[in-house]
A and B are shown apart, each in its own frame.
Chain A
Amino acid sequence: MSARLEKLKTALMSRLGKRLIRMDEALREVRAEVAAADYLEVMRELRDAPELAFSMLIDLCGVDYAAYGGEAGENRPARQFAVVTHLLSVTHNWRLRVRVFAEDDAAPRISSVVPIWSGADWFEREAFDMYGIFFDGHHDLRRILTDYGFVGHPFRKDFPVCGHVEMRYDPEQKRVVYQPVSIEPREITPRVRRETGWGKGHA
């Protein structure tokens, strides 16, 4: 297993060279990070280069790093929005995770990989719907999971779990109406994050 991962890392390094901003291996998974400008070109090579042959895009998702690391923000990346893809090579039987950060936090944009893998279509629509990441070159970037006429991007960290509006039937108007939520956001178990090395050396 690890010999195969070494082979994958060498192939990635020689093929991508400087375009590889960072590459790390953890838990027997390889992650590569590329710049948004190189993204489309790199992805095409990942699919077409015979020594890599990532013929399948398994997953594509958005990530919002705004609250990463809690209050202290330890290890929080400089940019807020990232797109993470999981690629699979059926010929070499290996996987790769590619992360790309959008340059602009206010209006994140990333190139679409639909021309490379047709299967990316709905995954990109989902990332757009949930995080408001725009995919340049996507032929049909519509909302996919949220309601018709939904406002906002629900998986962003500044979007409350209870949402902004609630829906009820109004017997006077004889139709369904939207109104601001009447419930307070609450947290039953707080999010607890301890600094590195906490509890060590006191045993």
Chain B
Amino acid sequence: MPEFRNFTINFGPQHPAAHGVLRMILELDGEVIKHADPHIGLLHRGTEKLIETRVWAQSLPYMDRLDYVSMMCNEHAYCLAVEKLLGIKVPERALYIRVMLDEVTRILNHLLWVGCHGLDVGAMSMVLYTFREREDLMDVYEAVSGARMHAAYYRIGGVYRDLPDRMPQYAPSPWKNAATLKVVNENRQGSLLDFLEDFTERFPKYHSDYHTLLTDNRIWKQRLVGIGTVSPERALQLGFTGAMLRGSGIEWDLRKKQPYAVYDQVDFDVPIGVNGDSYDRYLVRMEEMLQANRIIRQCIDWLRKNPGPVMSDDYKFAPPPHETVKSNMEALIHHFKYFSEGFQVPEGEAYAAIEHPKGEFGIYAISDGANKPYRLKIRAPGFAHLAAMDEMARGHMLADVVTIIGSQDVVFGEIDR
């Protein structure tokens, strides 16, 4: 009788299916996983420590670089925590803009997720379709903030500026003749809201195409059904949130249960799974995209009817309008104070959490009354999810590890911070 020993392999950190810089030490018995030990921290930048050395308003762009596929949602959590500590009121229009862009971000995130998840599992064409739609939403990001990814658009006290009245258009170039230009600029004739509304009308069709490609696809189901099953009890024990928790059949959505911004004013449904496997989590996230589309449409309607300020007028905590700075002494003083020393945040601590596309993204801020945070802890949903890797992968085949990573929707910007 020959002696069989377990085999240990190294997966990552430069592996295309590792979604960034995940290194895993896998102990295998044949092709069956006995133990999975993820090594993280290869993207650790010490964000929390850096934030302690910056004034409160300066730290906002760091948030974009956490989960770098759902930028604005991260900013939202940070703004909520600081606004809670300061006790300032945010104009209602800004809240609607935030909700609308949070949902744009949710679609952006889920599109990237379903594309890459498909790519990992073998559905090569998915990523081409989802990135086509992502391009439109990236243009929305660019139109509101000037940046396609790291927007830094939400600010403490509101949002940086109102939505643009004119959607940027493609300019003539050697690669685009007049006929092409007419086609690509057709839905860019109006404002940003018109462009986004046009997208929300087109999106359900795209969405049903994704369903056609994947949902009943035999290979897709063979790779996902029954893989990485988590019972509701274990999901709670492991600290799962978001689609990971809902996929296991627990109805828990912060937008419904602990509403922030104006989520109590909009109408949407929360999908939940039954079996808690990768396929259910896939279905939950797919449905979330349609619900996000619904929320965006409601926000567009409201924003069309209700013009108004988008930034707090408490100039101790929000920069005064730039045009007043040159003519108004007080505005100049506020502007100077805000951008040099910053503002002092009252002593205390606050925890603010949002329903991020990946789960509960929380900011726990401690202030000792200074112009910089004393301690700022970022609660990243992916951190808790990846910690369950060993439990979810044990007993599955090596190829299923890739499915589980995809199904957890991990992004290393937020896990390593």
Question: Which residues of chain A come closer than 8 Å to B87, judged between CB atoms?
Answer: 27
Question: Which residues of chain B come closer than 8 Å to A63, judged between CB atoms?
Answer: 366, 375
B222: CB under 8 A from chain A?
A: no
Binds A, one of B1-9, B182-190, B278-286, B344-352: B344-352
B48: CB under 8 A from chain A?
A: yes
Question: Which residues of chain A come closer than 8 Å to B234, judged between CB atoms?
Answer: 118
B377, A59: Cβ atoms closer than 8 Å: yes
B177: CB under 8 A from chain A?
A: no
B379: CB under 8 A from chain A?
A: yes
A122, B370: Cβ atoms closer than 8 Å: no
B139: CB under 8 A from chain A?
A: no
Given A27-B348, A84-B364, CB of A144 within 8 Å of CB of B374 = no
Chain A: minimal CB distance from B261 (Å): 16
A191, B258: Cβ atoms closer than 8 Å: no
B236: CB under 8 A from chain A?
A: yes
Binds B, one of A32-40, A50-58, A174-182: A50-58
Interface size on B, residues (CB 8 A): 55
Question: Which residues of chain A come closer than 8 Å to B372, judged between CB atoms?
Answer: 189, 191
A68, B350: Cβ atoms closer than 8 Å: no
A26: CB under 8 A from chain B?
A: yes
Out of B50, B240, B341, B347, which one reaches A189, CB within 8 Å? B341
Question: Which residues of chain B come closer than 8 Å to A70, judged between CB atoms?
Answer: 368, 370
B84: CB under 8 A from chain A?
A: yes
Tally of A-B Cβ pairs under 8 angstroms: 121
Task: Identify the closest chain B residue to A97 (Cβ).
Answer: B351
Question: Which residues of chain B come closer than 8 Å to A55, judged between CB atoms?
Answer: 236-237
> In the complex, A84 Cα to B376 Cα: how many Å?
12
A75, B368: Cβ atoms closer than 8 Å: yes
A194, B348: Cβ atoms closer than 8 Å: no
What 1/0 mask marks residues of chain B from 229 to 262 whose CB sits below 8 Å from any chain A CB? 0000010111111000000001010000110000
> In the complex, A120 Cα to B388 Cα: how many Å?
11
Given A59-B377, A192-B344, CB of A144 within 8 Å of CB of B362 = no
> In the complex, A194 Cα to B344 Cα: how many Å?
8
Within 8 A of A (CB), among B290-336: none
B360: CB under 8 A from chain A?
A: yes
Chain A: minimal CB distance from B238 (Å): 5
A86, B379: Cβ atoms closer than 8 Å: yes
Out of A68, A84, A117, which one reaches B237, CB within 8 Å? A117
A193, B370: Cβ atoms closer than 8 Å: yes
> In the complex, A61 Cα to B351 Cα: how many Å?
12
Out of A93, A121, A123, A144, which one reaches B41, CB within 8 Å? A144
Out of B239, B250, B388, which one reaches A57, CB within 8 Å? B239
B341, A192: Cβ atoms closer than 8 Å: yes
Task: Identify the closest chain B residue to A140 (Cβ).
Answer: B37
> In the complex, A83 Cα to B261 Cα: how many Å?
30
Given A58-B360, A59-B364, A90-B250, CB of A119 within 8 Å of CB of B384 = yes
What 1/0 mask marks residues of chain B from 373 to 417 whose CB sits below 8 Å from any chain A CB? 011010100011011100100000000000000000000000011
B239, A119: Cβ atoms closer than 8 Å: yes
A29, B350: Cβ atoms closer than 8 Å: yes
Question: Which residues of chain B come closer than 8 Å to A147, judged between CB atoms?
Answer: 41
> In the complex, A74 Cα to B347 Cα: how many Å?
11
What 1/0 mask marks residues of chain B from 358 to 371 whose CB sits below 8 Å from any chain A CB? 00101010101111
Chain B: minimal CB distance from A128 (Å): 13
Out of B53, B237, B368, B417, which one reaches A193, CB within 8 Å? B368
B212: CB under 8 A from chain A?
A: no
> In the complex, A97 Cα to B352 Cα: how many Å?
12
B174: CB under 8 A from chain A?
A: no
Chain A: minimal CB distance from B240 (Å): 8
B362, A58: Cβ atoms closer than 8 Å: yes
B340: CB under 8 A from chain A?
A: yes
A119, B49: Cβ atoms closer than 8 Å: no
Q: List 20 A-B contacts (CB under 8 A).
A: A26-B349, A27-B348, A29-B351, A55-B236, A59-B351, A61-B377, A69-B368, A70-B370, A86-B364, A93-B258, A95-B351, A118-B237, A119-B387, A119-B388, A122-B386, A123-B383, A144-B40, A145-B416, A189-B342, A191-B372
On B, residues with C-beta under 8 Å from A are 40-41, 44, 46, 48-50, 53-55, 84-85, 87, 234, 236-241, 250, 252, 257-258, 340-342, 344, 347-351, 353, 360, 362, 364, 366, 368-372, 374-375, 377, 379, 383-384, 386-388, 391, 416-417
Other than the known A97-B349, A192-B370, what 7 A-B pairs have Cβ atoms closer than 8 Å?
Answer: A27-B85, A27-B350, A118-B234, A119-B387, A189-B341, A189-B372, A193-B370
